[in-house]
Amino acid sequence: MKGLVLLLLLVALPLGHASDLLNWDTQIDVHEDKTSSWTVIMEYNETVAKGEYFVLTDISDIESFVDEKPITCSTANQVGTLITCNTPGKVYSFKFNTGRIVKPFVNNLNAFQYKFSAIVTTDRLNVKIILPLGAAIVEKEVLQGTGLQPFEPSYGKEGSDGRKIFLQWTLINPKLGETVAASIIYEQLSETELFMNFAFIIAVIIAIVIITLFYFSKHHKNNNVHTVLPMLTDTERKVMEIVMRKGEVDQREIVRETEYSKAKVTRVIQDMESRGMLEKTRKGRRNIIKLKNELKGSKTDDKNNLAKK
């Protein structure tokens, strides 16, 4: 008897609509407690006298909209729930919640199963099912020997919004009665597992950041002076070697070691200072010469190499 009532309901639905559906979109958010929230949008190519939607389960918290305006629609419970909106419009939207629509499966797995049928002519039938936060579609290996697949139909497209995994099936110009028999087998990670996975991911990210910073820092330090040296003249190179070896040096000492004239050393240091390689500080009657801050990091690594050359 129930099967007959359901058949009559399904057959009766298209009779109220002379117009075709342009788009029939159903989105289901599955919750961790195995309940779900549905959003159904039915867009017609022209204004129709009323909108109806039938779902094969009891529902609650029903919200209905016609052309984006909230309205009150009637419901009838016959095997499932039939929502009827006797308000003319082109776009009918229905939002509601269901009970525990997800069934437990073997090995602590969960199974969502529902048939979405093209009971009216439509250009596009789209079904999107979003799994709970922390849920993952089961691997094929887990179902080996059962004859089952992680999800069906196989043309479903798996995706993610960055937090949750979803599956989506789309039929273009489906035949009347064509069905999307959606089936998803998934596992729900516990809060502890989620925390451990999150902590592991964060640890990996931190490790990558540290390694990257270390590499680039070391690479940068080791190449500052090497980048500068090829651009120096022999005179400038001798001055640079002394400054790198001593860290800070009196300009008079540079004169003594290079055996250049005071004027020449002054001119070379002024030129290298203007190019951002050396820094001169006045202390009493002395000029103290040192590397610019940008080059200091490479001093320790390179002074021995330079001293040997």
Residue 297 clears pLDDT 60, i.e. is over it: no
**Distance (Å, rounded) from C-alpha 28 to C-alpha 265?**
79
Buried b (16+ CB within 10 A) or exposed e, 161-177: eeeebbbbbebeebeee
* pLDDT-based confidence at residue 78 (cuts at 50, 70, 90): confident
Q: What is the pLDDT of residue 198?
A: 61
Instruction: Give the pLDDT score at 3.
Output: 44
As a whole number, mean pLDDT of residues 198-206 equals 76
For residue 197, pLDDT beyond 60: no
Provide, rounded to the nearest whole percent, the portion of the chain with pLDDT above 70: 80
| Whether the predicted pLDDT of 10 surpasses 50 | no
Q: What is the pLDDT of residue 214?
A: 67
Confidence class for position 13, pLDDT limits 50, 70, 90: very low
pLDDT of residue 155: 95
User: Range with the lowest mean pLDDT among 58-72, 97-111, 199-213, 280-294?
Assistant: 199-213
Averaged pLDDT, 108-112: 91
pLDDT band at residue 294 using 50, 70 and 90 as cut-offs: low
Which of these CATH numbers, 1.10.10.10, 3.40.190.10, 3.40.50.720, 3.40.50.740, describes 196-308? 1.10.10.10
The answer on pLDDT for 299 being more than 70 is no
When pLDDT is averaged across residues 20-27 and rounded to a whole number, the result is 93
Which own/partner contact pairs does 168-174 have at CB distance under 8 Å and 24+ positions apart?
168/126, 168/127, 168/128, 168/129, 169/116, 169/126, 169/127, 170/124, 170/125, 170/126, 170/127, 171/118, 171/124, 171/125, 171/126, 172/123, 172/124, 173/122, 173/123, 173/124, 174/118, 174/122, 174/125
What pLDDT shows up at residue 300? 45
0.75 cut: is pTM over it? no
Q: What is the mean pLDDT of residues 9-38?
A: 76
The CA distance from 87 to 98, in Å, is 24
**2-189 is classed CATH 2.60.40:** yes
pLDDT of residue 115: 95
Q: How confident is the model at residue 170 (pLDDT cuts 50, 70, 90)?
A: very high
pLDDT of 6 over the 50 cut? no
Q: Give the tens place of pLDDT for each residue, 130-153.
A: 999 989 999 999 888 888 999 999
Sorted by where each begins, the domain ranges of the chain are 2-189, 196-308
How confident is the model over 234-293, as pLDDT tens digits? 888 889 888 888 888 999 999 999 889 988 999 998 988 888 888 899 888 899 999 887
How far apart, in Å, are the Cα atoms of 105 and each of 6, 89, 146, 286?
Answer: 27, 42, 12, 85
Q: Return the pLDDT at 227.
A: 64
pLDDT in tens, 34-71: 999 999 999 999 999 999 999 999 999 999 999 999 99
With a cut of 50, say whether residue 296 has pLDDT above it. yes
Q: For position 203, what pLDDT does the model report?
A: 78
In this predicted structure, what is the pLDDT of residue 1? 43
